[in-house]
Amino acid sequence: MLARAKFDFLDQLFTFLEPAKIDQMAKETGFVQRKRKFDANDFLSLLFGIHGNLIDSSLQELSTKCAVNQDIEISRAAIDKKFTKAAVLFLQRLVSELLETERMLPLSRHPLSEDWPFTTLRVLDGTHDAVPDLMLKRAQKTRQTSVKIQHEYDLLTGRVTFLRIDLKNVNDTISGAGRIPFLDTNELCLQDLGYFHFRSFEGIREKGSYFLTRFRSDAHLAYLNPSPSYHPNGGKIESSRYLRIDLVSLSRAMGPNEIMELEDVYFGRDAHFQARCILFHQDQDQKERRLIKIERRASRSRTPMKPLVREMAGTTGYMTNLPESISPEQLVELYRLRWQIEWEFRTMKSFLGLDHFRLVKQERWLCHVYGTLLVFLLSQLMACQLRNVIWEEEKKEISEAIAIRCFACEFIPKMYEAFRQKKTPQAFIPLITRLLTRTARKPNSASGTAIKRLQFE
């Protein structure tokens, strides 16, 4: 049985949902202006009961759920009137309150990270939820728009470290740069190619933190030229200062699953940004699968594939400023952890229904987005904390994606109702633990998962 003291944070976490606070917040945002039989707390009970998904259920189904689950009779028209700009603002405030509460919680880190040279493992990525092309014309009447969510969280604790929501498709580089002023020292940022920008890397380095990213297969990498050319007046010819590295030749010389580190590398034709460079060469099957993806992407964009991209399809390049005490093999394993946020976005979309679309008024659409996000963030934090404790006490590794679905779809509604009745949400932990250790355990393969293979000394 897990030590219940490990879950003392739950009572503090749910304080942002205290009925008195919810009522006050509803008044401040204009969501509820006078006392009604269906108040803000009842709205949250309905929201959590459908894990934030306000699109899949019709107004009639929402009305029925209120009558059956909450013993509140409310018409379809009355529910529809609840979806206003004030309701959107109310849910925005709830998400903000959740993030503020998270920052104050005494959360446990993953036990395997105690000897790691960084305190936080920040994983960043974005997801875009847009109106389907077939419905663009019809959606003009409902004023429904696209939503771009930039989400970064600490993989070691589950705490959200950066969240930005835009009602249009904003460039990842611009959005991702917004988190750099809030970095602390000795944090590690894992990010994909969409956030590759030398100014961002310089900002991370100035903060005393670390970055680990992939770089493009056609990137400009160079060494300092030991024998540069000079002008007659003695000045060095700038174009001869660096010698470009032939990545294609290096890739052809590497064997399957070989990892190579290049020393004293400068990145960028003009930036000349110095960082560690690691190349990982995949086997033939992995190369062919990547080629299929690249060809499919080129076909959609109607741009021919560059010969260089085809040649480098089997090689992945990484750039980092992590110390040399971390081996190239460990760097490759570290970057594999970035895929965790991809799985969690898939959970948010496929199982919680964030990307489900229906022609409804804009306010209901935005309530759906913020409601789903609220449930997801709450579930993600609890799932990561439960994962840490199960690993520490039982040496079992559970799937966070399955745990998030379990919390979001089954237990958050029950935990919220218990909290409304002034009971502790901790009472559900033994049941959740027994369930997840049986149904959400990751397979014990010979190689183990990436986080198991990471042991820094």
pLDDT at 75: 92
In this predicted structure, the answer to whether residue 350 has a pLDDT above a threshold of 70 is yes
pLDDT band at 7, cuts 50/70/90? confident
Exposed / middle / buried, residue 273 (Cβ in 10 Å: 0-12, 13-18, 19+): middle
Which residues are CB-neighbours of 292 under 8 A, at least 6 positions away?
Answer: none
Give the SS3 label for residue 39.
coil
> Which tokens belong to 311?
């040649």
The CA-based angle 264-265-271, given to 5 degrees, is: 125
Backbone phi and psi for residue 359, each to the nearest 5 degrees, phi listed first:
-75, 100
Alpha carbons 193 and 294: distance in angstroms, whole number: 14
pLDDT band at 296, cuts 50/70/90? confident
Share of the chain above pLDDT 90, in %: 62
Contact 31, 87 (CB under 8 A): yes
Residue 420 CB neighbours (<10 A): 17
CA distances from 389 to 108, 112, 435 (A): 8, 12, 15
Contact 102, 160 (CB under 8 A): yes
The residue-averaged pLDDT of 236-265 equals 91
Which residues are CB-neighbours of 296 under 8 A, at least 6 positions away?
Answer: none
In this predicted structure, the answer to whether residue 3 has a pLDDT above a threshold of 80 is no
Out of 97-101, 160-164, 243-247, 296-300, least confident range: 296-300
In this predicted structure, the answer to whether residue 81 has a pLDDT above a threshold of 80 is yes
Alpha carbons 396 and 366: distance in angstroms, whole number: 39
pLDDT at 397: 87
State pLDDT tens for residues 375-420.
Answer: 999 999 999 999 999 988 888 889 899 999 999 999 999 999 999 9
61-65, 293-297, 346-350: which has the highest mean pLDDT?
A: 61-65
CA distances from 277 to 144, 223, 291, 311 (A): 44, 12, 23, 19
Alpha carbons 208 and 275: distance in angstroms, whole number: 14
Alpha carbons 25 and 43: distance in angstroms, whole number: 13
State pLDDT tens for residues 40-77.
Answer: 999 999 999 999 999 999 999 999 999 999 999 999 99
- Edge-to-edge, what's the strand order for the sheet holding 315-320? 160-166, 147-154, 120-129, 187-191, 210-215, 315-320, 273-281, 259-267, 221-224, 242-244
pLDDT at 374: 97
Average pLDDT over the chain, rounded to an integer: 90
Which residue, chain included where needed, has tokens 């018409």?
Answer: 75
Backbone phi and psi for residue 66, each to the nearest 5 degrees, phi listed first:
-65, -40
Amino acid making up residue 29: T
pLDDT at 4: 57
pLDDT at 444: 66
Residue 93 CB neighbours (<10 A): 18
> Which tokens belong to 438?
């049986």
Which residues are CB-neighbours of 330 under 8 A, at least 6 positions away?
Answer: 454, 456
Which residue, chain included where needed, has tokens 């299929």?
Answer: 292
Which residue, chain included where needed, has tokens 């699953």?
Answer: 257
Spacing of C-alpha 337 from chain mean position: 11
